[in-house]
Structure 1
Amino acid sequence: MLTTRFAHSARQDPDPTRFRSVLGHFPSGITAITSRDADGKPVGMAVSSFTSVSLTPPLVAFLPGKSSSTFPAIAERGTFCVNVLATDQEWICRALSVSGGDKFSGVTWQPGPHGDPVIDGVVAWIACTIEAVHDAGDHHIVIGRVDDLDARTEASPLLFFRSHYHHLAAA
């Protein structure tokens, strides 16, 4: 495995508020990463830091914060489902973004290939097995091997840009 570390001269890191604001100018889709806890109950988190990694083998990645109370259950199970949220699913994003409570209250879903929740009405879903977890500052980089996936061609994704939700506009 190739790992490169770069030497950095003494410098001051950008202010975290400014850093977040500037990076908020990069639009992203919103996903719901779902799994099941040790008791079989659904768990999930809203994540905009999701990306494809490799075609061969098929790999994707998401970056949960180390302070996440949901990620430990996902890591313990070893499987997860990426649900690409649709424009009418902002409320699901908000429900999965809070700590505690029943995040799945009112959310309809079906068990995916690993039994993890595939949320009804999503643009796409991707069932994965955790391949690796890497340390990255105050986050983890979770690499998932894609085991199965599907998409709805008629649905439009929910987007996040400059701290607000957005939808695609027809050209």
Structure 2
Amino acid sequence: MNSEFVSPEQDLAHAFKQAMRRLAASVTIITTTNSDGEPVGMTATAVTSLSAEPPSLLACVNRSASIHSSFSVGRRFCVNLLGQNHSDLSFAFGGKVGPSERFGHGDWVHAEVPYLADAQVNFACMVDGMFDYGTHSIIVGRLDGIRLAGEFGPLVYGDGRFITTSIAA
């Protein structure tokens, strides 16, 4: 195993992708509605807390993703934190199923913004800011509602697969 830093002259992008596989993350499905009011969603692991005052989070969405055009300042969206029983749902929203078929999988509540009824957590947000960087947009979501459900048991993805977690002593 190479213990030297990879330089920009080498394949830094490839090394970055390999390194990020080691950054295990909770799996979410980000949902909103498109300009026609139809539900749209995508699987995402690039979601993190931003601030407690005001309560807010960041979500990173590839600008080439079909859902991207549905985001703009003032629009509402929901981050649905998946549980360990949601791996099939993660695949469906990750592109294994067409965008129009995704909400046929899972127990969705079709409110102003669709949310997963049996998610670990639903974060209801309003887009408070968007910033482009590289291939992605960084979306600032200001929370206006949180719904907790079930026992702790998030779906976690690392090294290209779902991994199991346990609470350390």
Report the TM-score range of the alignment, normalised by the length of the smaller protein: 0.7 to 0.9
Tell whether 2:24 aligns with 1:27.
yes
**Percentage of identical aligned residues:** 24
Report the Cα distance in structure 1 between the residues aligned to 2:21 and 2:89, rounded to whole angstroms: 21
Q: 1:63 aligns with which of 60, 71, 75?
A: 60
Report the Cα distance in structure 2 between the residues aligned to 1:106 and 1:28, rounded to whole angstroms: 22
Aligned amino acid, residue 109 of structure 1: W
Tell whether 2:138 aligns with 1:135.
no
Q: 2:15 aligns with which of 1, 18, 30?
A: 18
Q: How many angstroms does 1:61 deviate by?
A: 0.5
Q: 1:152 aligns with which of 126, 143, 149?
A: 149
Report the Cα distance in structure 2 between the residues aligned to 1:120 and 1:153, rounded to whole angstroms: 10
For 1:42-53, list aligned pairs within 5 A.
42-53=39-50
Report the Cα distance in structure 2 between the residues aligned to 1:55 and 1:76, rounded to whole angstroms: 20
Paired residue secondary structure (1:150)? strand
Q: Which residue of 2 aligns with 1:167?
A: 164
> How many correspondences in the alignment?
160
Q: Which residue of 2 aligns with 1:110?
A: 109
Q: 1:39 aligns with which of 36, 40, 56?
A: 36
Aligned amino acid, residue 161 of structure 2: H
Deviates more, 1:148-157 or 1:121-130: 148-157
Kindly report the root-mean-square deviation, in angstroms, between the aligned alpha carbons of the 2 structures: 2.1
TM norm structure 2: 0.86
Report the Cα distance in structure 2 between the residues aligned to 1:13 and 1:52, rounded to whole angstroms: 33
Structure 1 runs (4+) deviating above 2 angstroms are 10-18, 74-77
Flag the 1:92–1:75 CA change in 2: closer, same or farther, 3 A: farther
Aligned amino acid, residue 102 of structure 1: E
Paired residue secondary structure (1:93)? helix
Report the Cα distance in structure 2 between the residues aligned to 1:75 and 1:32, rounded to whole angstroms: 18
TM norm structure 1: 0.85
Paired residue secondary structure (1:116)? coil
Paired residue secondary structure (1:146)? strand
Paired residue secondary structure (2:102)? coil
Is the 1:36–1:77 contact (alpha carbons within 8 Å) kept by the matching residues of 2?
Answer: no
Deviates more, 1:45-54 or 1:65-74: 65-74
* Runs of 5+ consecutive residues of structure 2 not aligned to the other structure: 1-6
Paired residue secondary structure (2:101)? coil
Report the Cα distance in structure 2 between the residues aligned to 1:109 and 1:71, rounded to whole angstroms: 21
* Runs of 5+ consecutive residues of structure 1 not aligned to the other structure: 1-9
Report the Cα distance in structure 1 between the residues aligned to 2:136 and 2:165, rounded to whole angstroms: 29
